[in-house]
C-alpha cells in the first residue's frame, strides 16, 4: 500500500469525527490494507452527475466529509458567480441511508457561506427539486440520491439556476473549486439547527409542492369521457414517489389504486427490492404479484428518487408483461402527438428530444407528426439543456416531448429533468384513453411496429469494482476506440466517436457503431457507477429474428468484457 494512502487514512483517523459510523469503520479497517486502499486510492469522482458512491469512510466514499467538501466547492462557485441577493440553493433528498443527514450537512455548509438555503421538510422526488430551483429563483440546487442504485450507494446531484443538472463546464469549474480544498481545514460549517434559527435555512412551503403537482396535471391531453376507473397497482419502491404520484393521480380521477405494502414506506435498505430500478424484472416482481392478486389493469413502479417509472400490463393470454423504457417512450410520443393534433395544440415548430442510445424508431414516429428530432448525449440533463436553448430562442412551447431509454420521460418545460410523477400520470391517462376504445397498450405497440418496422433495443452492463476494475474499464474502452469491422456478422458502416465532440455536443467517451441493416451498438462507461454499458439496437422482420441476432451480438461483445 502506498505511503500516500496510509497518510490519508491516518489523517482521517485523527480528524473524521463528525459521524460515528465513519469513526467505527476507520477503526474496523485499521489492519486491512486492501480495504484502506479501496477507500482512499482516489477522491470520489465529481462530474455533471455530481457525486455518487458507496456509503462509508474515506475519500472514495459518500460520507459527511466528502459531502461537506463538495458543498464548499459548490458554495465557492455560487459566491463567485452570483450577487449576494441571488445566492440561494434549493435542497431535496430521497429515502436512502443517510440522505437526510447529507442534505442537512450540505445545507449547513451553504448557510455557513452566507447562502440562503431552501430545503423540503420531508423527502421529495428529483423533479420536485428541479421545480423548486426554478420556482424560487435559486442559483443552484442539490438532490441527495443515488437514484436507482443498490442500497450501499448514495449520491449528490447538482443543478444549475435553470433547474437542469449542471453542464460539463460548470462541473469542471466546481470540481476545480473542490480540489483546492483541504477536506478538514477549508470547509465552513454551521449546524442545521443553527441555520434554521438564524433564518439562513428555510423549509420550502407547501405552496411550491402544490404548484408542482398542478403543473403535472396540466399535462393532461384526455377527453372528459375516458373511463378512469382502471385498476392500478403502484409501488414507489420504498422511495419518494408515494405522496406526489398518489396525489396527482387521485386529484385527476384515478382512485382505484392499490399500493404495494412492502414497498410503500421510505426505506433505504430496500428489503424487497435490492436493486430498486424499475428497469429490472426483479424490482417489479412483487408488484406483478400484487397485480395478479388484485387483477389489476396496470402496474406502475417508480425508482427511489421518482424520476424513472416502469410498467407492466396484461397480454392477450392474461399474463403480465413488462414494457421497456423505449417502448413506453414510443407509446407516449405517439399518444402525445396524436392528441395534441386532435386538440389543436401542436406548436408551429414542434421538437422531440432523445438521447443517442434511445430507440432510433422514435425519430420515424416523430417525423410522422411533423416533429423535428434532436439527438443528445446520454443523460436527461442534455434533454433539459435543449429545452433551455429553445426557451432562449423564444420557442419554449416548441418542446413537445423528450425521453431516454432508461425509463425517463418529460412532456412539459416546468422542470428540466425526467419526471416519473409526470410519466406515471400520462401513462395512466394513455392507458385509460386506449382502454376506453377497447385497445390495450400491447395492441397499440404492435400497431406501431406494423407501421414502422420491428426494432429490438437492449442494454447490457458489465461491472468493474475497485481500482483494478477502474483500470480495466479504461483498457476495454481503448480496444473499442481502435475500431471493429464486423459485429455479430453485421458490417460496421460508420463509427460515431463522441469523444471528439460530434454535432456540437460536449466531448464524451461514447462510441456508436452503425451497422448494416439499421442495427447499431453503443458502448460507454457509466457516469455514476463502475460499469461499462452496451446498447444494442436490432431491426428485423420479427421479434424472434431480432432476438437471434441480438444474442449473437451480445455473445461476441461479451468477449471484450471478460
Average pLDDT over residues 59-64: 98
Domains of the chain, residue spans: 3-204, 214-451, 454-561
**Cell numbers at 423, concatenated:** 410519466
**Dist CA 67 CA 323 (whole Å):** 37
Strand, helix or coil at 88? strand
Q: Do domains 3-204 and 214-451 have the same CATH topology?
A: yes
Angle between the N-to-C axes of helices 441-452 and 420-436, in degrees from 0 to 180, rounded to the nearest 10: 90
pLDDT tens per residue, range 174-229: 999 999 999 999 999 999 999 999 999 999 999 999 999 999 999 999 988 899 99
304-330 burial: b if 16+ Cβ within 10 Å, else e: bbbbbbbbbbbeeeeebebbbbbbbbb
State residue 290's pLDDT score.
98
Task: Tell me which of 280-284, 318-322, 453-457 is least confident.
Answer: 453-457
Q: Measure the N-to-C terminal CA separation of the chain; round to a whole number of Å.
A: 27
Question: What is the Cα 478 distance to its own chain's centre?
Answer: 27
Closest CA to 329 of 363, 294, 371, 379: 363
pLDDT tens per residue, range 290-344: 999 999 999 999 999 999 999 999 999 999 999 999 999 999 999 999 999 999 9
**Dist CA 210 CA 179 (whole Å):** 39
Q: Does domain 454-561 have CATH number 3.40.190.10?
A: no
Q: Which overall architecture, per CATH, does domain 3-204 show?
A: 3-Layer(aba) Sandwich (3.40)
Say if residue 527's pLDDT is above 80. Answer: no
Look-up of cell digits 442534505: 103
State residue 547's pLDDT score.
93
508 is annotated as an active-site residue? no
- Selecting from 3.40.120.10, 3.40.800.10, 3.40.630.30, 3.30.1130.10, what CATH number does the domain 214-451 have? 3.40.120.10
363-380 burial: b if 16+ Cβ within 10 Å, else e: bbbbeebebeebbbbbbb
**Dist CA 274 CA 351 (whole Å):** 38
State residue 507's pLDDT score.
86
On average, the pLDDT of the chain sits at 95
List 147, 324, 413, 520, catalytic entry: 147
Amino acid at each position: 500500500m502506498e505511503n500516500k494512502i496510509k497518510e490519508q487514512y491516518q489523517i482521517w483517523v485523527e480528524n473524521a469525527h463528525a459521524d460515528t459510523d465513519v469513526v467505527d469503520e476507520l477503526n474496523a479497517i485499521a489492519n486491512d490494507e486492501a480495504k484502506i486502499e479501496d477507500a482512499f486510492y482516489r477522491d470520489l469522482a465529481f462530474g455533471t452527475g455530481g457525486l455518487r458512491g458507496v456509503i462509508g469512510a474515506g475519500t472514495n466514499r459518500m460520507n459527511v466529509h466528502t459531502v461537506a467538501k463538495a458543498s464548499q466547492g459548490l458554495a465557492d462557485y455560487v459566491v463567485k458567480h452570483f450577487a449576494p441577493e441571488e445566492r440561494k440553493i434549493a435542497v431535496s433528498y430521497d429515502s436512502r441511508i443517510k440522505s437526510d443527514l447529507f442534505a442537512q450537512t450540505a445545507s449547513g455548509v451553504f448557510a455557513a457561506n452566507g447562502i440562503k438555503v431552501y430545503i423540503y421538510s420531508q423527502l421529495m422526488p428529483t423533479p420536485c427539486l428541479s421545480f423548486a430551483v426554478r420556482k424560487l429563483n435559486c442559483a443552484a440546487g442539490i438532490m441527495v440520491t443515488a437514484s436507482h442504485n443498490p442500497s450501499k450507494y448514495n449520491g449528490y446531484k447538482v443543478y444549475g439556476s435553470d433547474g437542469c443538472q449542471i453542464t460539463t463546464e460548470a462541473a469542471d469549474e466546481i470540481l476545480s473549486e473542490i480540489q483546492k480544498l483541504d477536506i478538514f481545514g477549508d470547509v465552513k460549517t454551521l449546524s442545521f439547527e443553527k441555520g434554521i434559527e438564524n433564518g439562513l435555512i428555510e423549509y420550502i412551503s407547501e405552496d411550491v409542492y402544490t404548484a408542482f403537482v398542478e403543473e403535472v396535471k396540466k399535462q393532461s391531453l384526455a377527453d372528459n369521457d375516458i373511463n378512469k376507473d382502471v385498476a392500478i397497482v403502484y409501488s414507489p419502491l420504498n422511495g419518494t414517489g408515494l405522496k406526489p404520484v398518489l396525489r396527482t393521480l387521485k386529484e385527476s380521477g384515478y382512485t382505484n389504486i392499490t399500493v404495494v405494502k412492502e414497498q410503500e414506506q421510505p426505506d433505504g435498505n430496500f428489503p424487497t427490492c435490492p436493486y430498486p430500478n424499475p428497469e429490472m424484472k426483479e424490482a417489479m416482481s412483487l408488484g406483478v404479484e400484487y397485480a395478479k392478486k388484485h387483477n389489476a389493469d396496470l402496474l406502475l413502479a417508480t425508482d427511489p428518487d421518482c424520476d424513472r417509472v416502469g410498467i407492466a400490463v396484461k397480454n392477450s393470454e392474461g399474463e403480465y408483461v413488462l414494457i421497456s423504457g423505449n417502448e413506453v417512450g414510443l407509446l407516449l410520443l405517439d399518444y402525445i402527438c396524436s392528441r395534441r393534433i386532435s386538440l389543436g395544440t401542436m406548436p408551429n415548430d414542434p421538437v422531440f428530444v432523445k438521447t443517442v442510445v434511445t430507440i432510433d424508431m422514435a425519430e420515424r414516429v416523430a417525423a410522422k407528426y411533423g416533429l423535428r428530432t434532436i439527438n443528445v448525449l446520454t443523460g436527461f440533463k442534455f434533454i433539459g439543456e435543449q429545452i433551455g436553448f429553445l426557451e432562449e430562442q423564444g420557442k419554449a412551447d416548441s418542446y413537445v416531448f423528450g425521453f431516454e431509454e432508461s425509463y425517463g420521460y418529460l412532456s412539459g418545460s416546468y422542470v428540466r429533468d425526467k419526471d416519473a410523477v409526470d410519466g406515471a400520470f400520462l401513462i395512466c391517462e394513455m392507458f385509460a384513453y386506449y382502454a376506453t376504445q377497447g385497445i390495450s397498450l400491447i395492441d397499440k405497440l404492435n400497431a406501431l411496429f406494423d407501421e414502422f418496422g420491428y426494432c429490438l433495443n437492449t442494454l447490457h452492463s458489465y461491472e468493474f469494482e475497485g481500482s483494478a476494475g477502474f483500470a480495466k474499464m479504461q483498457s476495454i474502452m481503448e480496444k473499442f476506440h481502435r475500431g471493429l469491422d464486423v459485429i455479430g456478422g453485421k458490417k460496421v458502416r460508420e463509427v460515431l466517436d463522441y469523444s471528439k465532440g460530434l454535432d456540437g455536443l460536449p466531448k464524451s467517451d461514447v462510441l456508436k457503431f452503425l451497422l448494416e441493416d439499421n442495427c447499431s451498438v453503443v458502448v460507454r462507461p457509466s457516469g455514476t457507477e463502475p460499469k461499462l454499458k452496451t446498447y444494442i439496437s436490432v431491426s428485423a422482420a420479427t421479434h424472434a429474428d431480432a432476438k437471434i441476432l441480438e444474442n449473437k451480438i451480445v455473445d461476441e461483445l461479451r468477449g471484450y468484457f471478460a
